[in-house]
Structure 1
Amino acid sequence: MRVALLLRGVNVGGVTVRSAELRALLAEAGLGEVATVLASGNAVVTATDAAAAAGAAEAALERRYGRRIQVLGIAIESLAAIVADYPHGEDDEHTPYVVFELEPGVAAELAALEPGPGEAIAAGAAGVVHWSNPRGTTLTSPFAKALERTAKDRVTTRNVRTLRKVLAAA
């Protein structure tokens, strides 16, 4: 099956993982048909199990970089359903995100938060929250601040537009 691998905290002030190096690491870890998407810690691989693929990727990354880099593995079909279910409108004034929990229960906590002005949040499929925020407020909106305060290392967030590129690479 095709599996999306979403790396948390790379190329955004943490560890820099170049696409070519990520492709090589994932192939060496035994994952097949590796494709990377953008320079933002996204890959698509062939594997028999999404969780096992994420585990193999985490182990390979830790060996290479000397620290744990969390990886979420999700079947492409599941990712496609999450993107298709994005409930908020998309326009030039807002940025569409999906927040994926890396620790059970975090998405439910986040979905219960009160959105700030111009923001919208909604629980999605198990383990995700759909979030729309006014353009330019990704780090400063009330939900963004709550996300940083309560769930920083327990989630990974992707722009819906990036997720569509991940799906296209599958």
Structure 2
Amino acid sequence: MATSRVVLLLRGVNVGGVVVRSTDLRALLADAGLGEVRTVLASGNAIVDADDATAAARTAEAALEAGYGRRIRVLGLELEALARIVASYPFAEDDAHTPYVVLGLDVGVLERLATTETPEDLALVGDALCWSNPTGTTIDSPFGRALTRVGKDSTMTRNLRTLRRIVAAG
């Protein structure tokens, strides 16, 4: 299998959970054998060279657990797959809405979330659930509450602008 650029997204770090500094994350992933590690922003995002995105995520999870003493879930995606998700975001962007992409860590969770009864704009696009949310209401919105109830530990949410920066850094 050919080596490719793989995006590693950490769940629940630097937002009320454990603090994982970019410098520490780069060192930890490099020491775990992942090639050419680059971090993007300070919210648990890294790009590495790897043969397999899922295996890279498992390697990162094991290294993080050894380094921080707790499980930190990691999603691995090939950079091209993330670029396709970003390019396929179906909603108009404006200052009144925050563009989010919800990614599933467990099988079937996005499909369950996509069928929740909420008034927000939701669209299942490949392996992602795109969400256009009125700015400032993320946690209290009907879908935000459904996300906590249905997908609390089995999803991760990233702002579309963050994902664009990750793709650009790749």
- Per the normalisation by structure 2, the TM-score is 0.96
Alignment match of 2:30 (pick from 23, 27, 31): 27
Deviation at 1:17, TM superposition (A): 0.2
Tell me the amino acid that sits aligned with residue 139 of structure 1: I
Aligned residue number for residue 153 of structure 1 = 153
How much has 1:124 moved relative to structure 2?
Answer: 1.1
Q: Which runs of 5+ in 1 are unaligned?
A: none
Alignment RMSD: 0.7
Question: Does residue 68 of structure 1 match 2:76?
Answer: no
Partner of 1:3: 6
Deviation at 1:115, TM superposition (A): 2.5
Q: Which residue of 2 aligns with 1:164?
A: 164
Secondary structure (helix, strand or coil) at the match of 1:87 reads: coil
**Residue 125 of structure 2 aligns with which residue?**
124
- 3-state DSSP of counterpart to 1:103: coil
SS at match of 2:20: coil
* Cα deviation, residue 114, structure 1: 2.4
For 1:27-53, what per-residue CA distance to the aligned partner results, in whole angstroms no more than 9, with x for missing partners?
Answer: 001111111111100010110110111
Q: CA deviation at 1:102?
A: 0.3
Alignment of 1:139-150 (within 5 A): 139-150=139-150
Q: Give yes or no for the alignment of 1:110 onto 2:78.
A: no
Residues 136-166 of structure 1 deviation map (CA, whole Å, 9 limit, x = unaligned): 0111100000100111001011000000011
1:74-127 residue CA offsets vs partner (Å, 9 max, x unmatched): 0000000011110011111100011001000001001111223xx20011103x
Quote the offset at 1:18 in angstroms. 0.3
Percentage of pairs with the same residue: 63
Q: TM-score, normalised by structure 1?
A: 0.96
Q: Which amino acid aligns with 1:49?
A: D
Looking at structure 2, the residues matched to 57 and 43 of structure 1 have their Cα atoms a distance apart, in angstroms, of: 10
- Would you say how many aligned residue pairs link Structure 1 and Structure 2? 167
State the one-letter code of the partner of 1:54: A
Give the aligned partner of residue 136 of structure 1: 136
Q: Which residues of structure 2 form unaligned runs of 5+?
A: none
